[in-house]
Chains A and B, each alone.
Chain A
Amino acid sequence: MPQLYTICYLGTDDVFYDDLIKYYNYMASVKQNMAFDYSRFDVTIEYGIETFLAKCDDTPPDLTFIDFYNMVEDNTRICDISHMMLTLKKSYYFNTIAFVGLFATKDDLFKHSYMFSYGMCYSYIKRDTSEGTVFRDPAYIGLGIGLRFETFAVAPDIDLFYKLGAIASVPGFAINAIDIETDLSIEPSFDMIVKFFFFPDFNIEKFPILIKNHGERTYDHVHRYVLEIPYHNKLKAITDDVVPFYNDTMDTWIENSSLTFDDKLETILIIDGDELPPLEIYKLKRSCKYNIERRTYVAHCNDSIYNLRPSIIFFNMDDDEENKKGKEIPSNNTNMFFQIINAIKLINDYVPIIILFNSPSTSTALQKAYGYTALLAHKEHISIDPIAMLLAISSKKQSANSKRKIYYPFKLCDIRRKALVKEEILITSLTEHEITFASKKEYPCFTTFQIDVPVDAFITIVEPTHELKFVKNNFHYMAFIHGVDEQDLSYLRKFVNKIIFEPLEEFVRIGVEEDEEEALEKEFELQEELLFTPDNIIKKEEELVPEKEKKVRIRKAKNRTSSFKGKSKL
């Protein structure tokens, strides 16, 4: 029985959709042991996203292409899609979906590159004719499958240091500190070097780490930090190595920008055992004034109560029957509920309201049994309607301004939330398609970085497609280059071809000649067009990519464990 993969396309481009189907059908015809099912949704229309989420609940897609081609100016739609991605990514059962972003221009991509924090693992600038990479690379990243990778011209043994920026996201900040989420693990004894994009005069890049992993991760990242903003003391002299930044600059900016920050009220925590469909969670998040945090099981809460301090907790008790069937899944039973209550009791001055769904007992009985008075029972299984009703009652009693004076959260589609955590790596080789680099640090697979050499683009760490050479005392990584347009691709080829014969002394952009490119291209076979050939121009049988399904699917665990490494040192 062939393995069935579900691919969704969220867009309106008939030609692209046809190309997508042709490519994957071709892949299925070569590999034999796989099959593809396709769905398409127009998310620019009313209820388009809801229709897609309903489909996810029925048959979760393995790979989803989101076409931002005619959406980028519609900020509301972009926010809706961001919410949709995070709703799925924060779900125990749906966070395996791999998202691919399709953009009309590089400007559009860079403007919305915060989406890499919401689960986008690959990006593509659309052209008149879709290249095979837009289908092949996501299949490798998201599904662990693919056809043989073609041989590109390789500039080997580059061995030059280069600073790139790991994609990070800022949930919000206070006057003296910044929350940031990233895939990188940095010990608090070190400073974090980060480029923020709050406003032009925010020019400091070195931040002491106050806390690591203090709170819940809001986005599709592995670690969360609190960084101290190192304001310059006006009484101290400015030395050459100091970039002075004053707190009144920050105060002025906050005051002028106050209306642009998110105005969500307190946090609500839902622990539902995945009973609530993603569509309902999505609708609730978009419509209510609260910050909705959803955890499937108590086992996934990881100090959620302590870190989030939700003002209301909605908890769905498991049916006893389910547990008796001996399923190997976490459960939300009375023991787990008791743990929640105990965790709450340990926190001073904190008494959230708890609504317990699927409880056959009365509120009074529960309050006495658990020794907790702010506990209400509801006989039925958890559903959105009573939650929405209670939140509507609650929000009327609350002031929206109560939190703004202390903490300033960014809206989901605010480009100022994007940050780049700077890392120095050793570039070992380069093709127009992938880059290999070494580092003493461990990076999770699928970490995305932004680069500016040879071109402005993004790279995402993948399971290497071939053996990488041993680099002593380093981890050696491979990353696919993506988010490049046709001009970039042309320059990349020229760059690679040139540095093969004229090695660089530092990894920087260089000038390349037109006629050099033509001469060099004759020496190297470019097989990419041949691969994507539904008419079977290829005469040889394709070799199959070694099955990497198990390893690549660890991608799914990126959010649940930070222990997965990139390619280990040999």
Chain B
Amino acid sequence: MTERKDLHLLIVDDEKHILEILSLLLSKHFTKITTAMNGKEGLEKITQHSDIKCVLSDIRMPIMDGISFIKEVRAKGNDVPFIFFTGHGTDPLMIEATKYGAFDFISKPNFKSLEQVILNATKESGEADDLVKSFENIKK
């Protein structure tokens, strides 16, 4: 069994079974998982736990949706990476989310690559290097 990464994740979704599945899946790879049922709860959790390194959030939720959630987090000066869950295809709210700094979008229930996406979100990398490398890859 691979060693678990020492990372605190926050998972926010109004569907309880999604929270359970993801908690089970990701607890094999990461040391600490916190969950919340909507954006308002998620905001409370982030305030309580300053060591949260990555947020996985649904976009459409009652009480406080994913867009309002990330907006509030950013307003507090917190640039923690956000990975959003989406339904099939593109959601107009995805564009709205990019205004506040979305790291990635994962379609439910394709959680296979989620571990790697989380690791990418939490590692430090040079923006300029990424831009040049990405540009060179596209030009090929």
Chain A residues within 8 Å of B105, by CB: 365, 368-369
B100 contacts A by Cβ under 8 Å: yes
A288 to B96, CA, bound (A): 35
1/0 per position for A393-413, CB-CB distance to B under 8 A? Answer: 110010000000000000000
Partner of B98, one of A320, A334, A353: A334
Partner of A361, one of B86, B103, B131: B103
1/0 per position for B103-138, CB-CB distance to A under 8 A? Answer: 111000000000000000000000110111011101
Chain A residues within 8 Å of B136, by CB: 393
Chain A residues within 8 Å of B103, by CB: 361-362, 364-365
Is there contact, CB below 8 Å, between A338 and B95?
yes
B97 contacts A by Cβ under 8 Å: yes
A31 to B1, CA, bound (A): 88
Which of A100-108, A149-157, A373-381, A434-442 has 4 or more CB atoms under 8 Å from chain B?
A373-381
A379 to B103, CA, bound (A): 12
B102 contacts A by Cβ under 8 Å: yes
B88 contacts A by Cβ under 8 Å: no
Q: Which chain B residue lies CB-closest to A378?
A: B131
- CB of A370, distance to nearest CB on chain B (Å): 7
A348-383 CB contacts (< 8 Å) to partner B: 353, 355, 359-366, 368-371, 374, 376, 378-380
A390 contacts B by Cβ under 8 Å: yes
A386 contacts B by Cβ under 8 Å: yes
Is there contact, CB below 8 Å, between A369 and B94?
yes
Chain B residues within 8 Å of A360, by CB: 74, 79, 98-101
Is there contact, CB below 8 Å, between A394 and B139?
yes
Is there contact, CB below 8 Å, between A365 and B134?
no
Q: Which chain B residue lies CB-closest to A359?
A: B98
A361 to B96, CA, bound (A): 11
B48 contacts A by Cβ under 8 Å: no
Chain B residues within 8 Å of A366, by CB: 98
Partner of A364, one of B96, B104, B127: B104
Chain A residues within 8 Å of B2, by CB: none
Is there contact, CB below 8 Å, between A362 and B102?
yes
1/0 per position for B77-96, CB-CB distance to A under 8 A? Answer: 00100000010001000111
Partner of A369, one of B98, B127, B138: B98
Chain B residues within 8 Å of A386, by CB: 128, 131
Is there contact, CB below 8 Å, between B139 and A376?
no
- CB of B15, distance to nearest CB on chain A (Å): 21
Is there contact, CB below 8 Å, between B102 and A365?
yes
Chain A residues within 8 Å of B79, by CB: 360
A320 to B71, CA, bound (A): 12
- CB of B26, distance to nearest CB on chain A (Å): 19
A197 to B18, CA, bound (A): 73
- CB of A131, distance to nearest CB on chain B (Å): 56
Partner of B135, one of A359, A380, A393: A393
A389 contacts B by Cβ under 8 Å: yes
| Chain B residues bordering chain A, tally (CB within 8 A) | 26
Is there contact, CB below 8 Å, between B132 and A361?
no
- CB of A273, distance to nearest CB on chain B (Å): 16
Chain A residues within 8 Å of B131, by CB: 355, 376, 378, 386, 390
Give the interface size bracket for A toward B: 20 to 34
A353 to B139, CA, bound (A): 8
Q: Which chain A residue lies CB-closest to B94?
A: A369
Is there contact, CB below 8 Å, between A353 and B138?
yes
Is there contact, CB below 8 Å, between B135 and A368?
no
Q: Which chain B residue lies CB-closest to A375?
A: B138
Is there contact, CB below 8 Å, between A363 and B134?
yes
Partner of A362, one of B94, B100, B104, B128: B104
- CB of A229, distance to nearest CB on chain B (Å): 36
Chain B residues within 8 Å of A334, by CB: 95-96, 98-99
A389 to B97, CA, bound (A): 29
Is there contact, CB below 8 Å, between A368 and B94?
yes
- CB of A353, distance to nearest CB on chain B (Å): 6
Chain B residues within 8 Å of A397, by CB: 139
Is there contact, CB below 8 Å, between B135 and A370?
no
Is there contact, CB below 8 Å, between A369 and B95?
yes
- CB of A352, distance to nearest CB on chain B (Å): 10
Is there contact, CB below 8 Å, between A371 and B132?
no
- CB of B130, distance to nearest CB on chain A (Å): 8
Chain B residues within 8 Å of A380, by CB: 127
Q: Given A334-B99, A371-B90: A389 and B104 within 8 A (CB)?
A: no
A355 to B138, CA, bound (A): 11
A334 to B131, CA, bound (A): 21
Is there contact, CB below 8 Å, between B128 and A361?
no
Chain A residues within 8 Å of B138, by CB: 353, 374, 376
Chain B residues within 8 Å of A394, by CB: 135, 139
- CB of B139, distance to nearest CB on chain A (Å): 6
- CB of A335, distance to nearest CB on chain B (Å): 9
Given A368-B90, A370-B95, output 11 extra A-B contacts at Cβ < 8 Å. Answer: A320-B99, A360-B100, A361-B103, A362-B102, A365-B105, A369-B97, A376-B135, A378-B131, A379-B127, A386-B128, A390-B132
* Residue positions of B touching A, CB distance < 8 A: 74, 79, 86, 90, 94-105, 127-128, 130-132, 134-136, 138-139
Sample 22 A-B pairs with CB under 8 A, ordered by A number. A355-B135, A359-B98, A360-B79, A360-B98, A361-B98, A361-B99, A361-B102, A362-B104, A364-B104, A365-B94, A365-B102, A365-B103, A365-B104, A368-B90, A368-B104, A369-B97, A370-B90, A379-B127, A386-B128, A386-B131, A390-B131, A390-B135
